[in-house]
Chain A
Amino acid sequence: MTALISARGLKKIYRRGAETVRAADGISLDVNRGELLAITGPSGSGKTTLLNLLGCLDTPDEGSLSVAGTEIFGSGRKLAEGRLTLLRRRTFGYIFQQFHLVPTLTVLENVLLPRVFYQNGPLRKSPGEILKRLGLEHRAEHLPAQLSGGEMQRAAIARALINGPEAVLADEPTGNLDSTRAEEIKEILSSLAADGIAVIMVTHNPALAGAAGRIIEIRDGRITPSPKP
């Protein structure tokens, strides 16, 4: 089976004054469709940097990355920004710890926001279906301020799914939720993977990581031996 995302020798170095931080130090990794992958590690180890590199939001200093058979970075080349944006539209959905819903838009409008910039793209599932699946159909016309934390994160997941992505990247998706709401999110992410979507999540939550099919731990920008094969 061909991997959806294939990274080889990814390096990303940040310089803060005299200090050099190796956020990614030669990471090689394959992620398959339908896989639920957890990235764990201490704060500042480079988890979010790796997620951003895999999601084509950041550019590596070295290494290569292919997504769905398209080479994004490699051999000193980088896909043009316009083509990269088009690839992000149809391939990735992103979920953030802070939800990042637009406060003046209703839940339904927030979910539809990615469609504003991708109106000609195929709509695999209607917003109504997605909201129903996430148990938010009764909240469609509510503003984010009227939702609980769990509902806001579910709305953010619905937004990530609207373009029918092949991969969902989640950065601390349960970081702002209590254990009950975190459990709901875990169930949802597991079900997405069961539907064939590659789910890559950065988490400190052992229960959430426990639901993953594979866990990789990052220390000092490198993958340490996996605690769970």
Chain B
Amino acid sequence: MNIYSVASKNLLRRKSRTALTAGGIALSTWALATLLGFSRGYENALNRDIDNMGFQVLLTAKGCPYEAATLMLKGGTGLRYMKEDIVRSVASNPEVEETTPMLMQGVFDPDKGENGAVAAYLGVDALSFPRMKRYLEFKQGGWFRDNTAREAVLGYEAAELEQREAGDKLLIPGIGAEMTVSGVLKRSGTQDDGTIFLPIGTVRELFSRQGQLTALGIKVRKGADIDALENRLYDLPDVQVVSLAQVKTTIMGLVSGAKAVVLALALIAVIIAMSGVANTVLMSVMERFGEIGIIKSMGALPSDIFKLVLAETAAVCALGGVSGLLLAALTARLSETAARHFLPYAPGGALIIIDGRTAAAALAVILAGGLASGLYPAWRAARVRPVEAMRGEQ
């Protein structure tokens, strides 16, 4: 028997009170761990999405930069167009390794959902686009034969939504054009999962967009000066330059406000839980003044009593903390669904990562806070004078 087993048995004396306190700690740990997990997960997912784009700079027609950022990652509405000959002037820069033109087109599909919805098609170059998106793997089939083929490649989720497989026909609403599905991609955890890719020449022909682009992806040579390239691209007329760093900063800026509010709420939850711990432990100490006096009369030093009360505090915090971490891990996907609902932009893949690092950080905050809130009750207990405590008991 040691001081810790005595402490743990003391907690069993008021089971419901211990459970309620641990429950409060569990909830605040859950909030903290989920937030820390979100902070890491969101940034990782965003980085992965951006890295998987295959290009570091995007040129779009002049317009709203936020829309450009959204277009870059998700596809947008109210599209603007730029001239195709811009490809040559961009490619002539020494920093540019390769470019890939993209032409996005949206079509209203009255059969989609209850009231219809816009179906988006991304026209891509059959040669350069697959080279830049090397991480994309096919579940079935492969890329289209050339830039004018009447073929389509479906992202994993797009194929599920359209219920199509390689070899099936895909009808483009409104214009009555029929495509053959040449391939279905494996799940990539990025926005490509929900995209329908068409050859860029086919999109131009179907939608009468000859010589036009919505975006130009630019892959920069390794070690090249991206800033110098961007400065030169800014001089091009009627286009705007969106760099990977800008997109990331823009999106993180949008999300950081929400993160700050949630962090504040999580900290308030932690403070409330810690006040609960201080109150519970102090109440438990006051109830046991007589017993503490008896233990001191048996030869316990003030430091022994201090340790005993802190051990009780640590045990209840550890119990609540571990329960909260389990809760956070179990509800991560549910929290992620809620986060996706409220966020202005959510990248693909896991948004909340509850791993060892996140768990250790959350537990460390909870234990440190818990021990801090146990200091005063422990100090009060250590100061108990045996004779006064026993007199009070009688």
**Chain B binds chain A:** yes
Interface residues of A (CB under 8 A from B): 52, 55, 57-58, 81-82, 85-86, 88-90, 92, 94, 96-98, 100, 102-105, 109, 112-118, 159, 163
B299 and A89 contact, CB distance less than 8 A: yes
B298 and A94 contact, CB distance less than 8 A: yes
A-B contact pairs, 27 of them (CB 8 A): A52-B387, A55-B297, A57-B297, A57-B390, A85-B296, A85-B301, A88-B298, A90-B299, A94-B294, A94-B297, A96-B294, A100-B294, A102-B6, A104-B9, A104-B12, A104-B13, A105-B6, A112-B1, A113-B6, A113-B295, A114-B299, A116-B3, A116-B300, A116-B304, A117-B295, A117-B298, A117-B299
Known: A82-B301, A100-B290, A104-B13. 13 other contacts (CB 8 A): A52-B387, A85-B300, A85-B301, A86-B299, A94-B298, A96-B390, A102-B9, A105-B6, A109-B1, A113-B298, A116-B6, A116-B300, A117-B299
Query: How many B residues touch A, CB cutoff 8 Å?
Result: 25
Q: Report if B43 contacts A (CB, 8 A).
A: no
Contact of A118 among B2, B291, B299 (CB under 8 A): B299
CB-CB under 8 A for A163 and B299, given A96-B294, A100-B290, A103-B13: yes
Interface residues of B (CB under 8 A from A): 1-3, 6, 9-10, 12-13, 290-291, 294-302, 304, 386-387, 390, 393-394
A100 and B1 contact, CB distance less than 8 A: no
A98 and B393 contact, CB distance less than 8 A: yes
Residue with the greatest number of chain B CB neighbours at <10 A, chosen from A52, A81, A100, A159 = A100
Residue of B nearest to A52 (CB): B387
| Complex Cα spacing A117 to B393, Å | 22
5 tightest A-B CB contacts, nearest first: A89-B299, A114-B298, A117-B300, A104-B9, A58-B387
| Complex Cα spacing A82 to B302, Å | 9
A97 partner residues in chain B, CB cutoff 8 A: 394
Residue of B nearest to A58 (CB): B387
CB-CB under 8 A for A81 and B294, given A98-B393, A103-B13: no
Residue of B nearest to A108 (CB): B1
A114 partner residues in chain B, CB cutoff 8 A: 298-299
B297 partner residues in chain A, CB cutoff 8 A: 55, 57, 88, 92, 94
A85 partner residues in chain B, CB cutoff 8 A: 296, 299-301
| Complex Cα spacing A72 to B2, Å | 30
B386 and A116 contact, CB distance less than 8 A: no
CB distance from A134 to the nearest CB of B (A): 17
Residue of A nearest to B4 (CB): A116
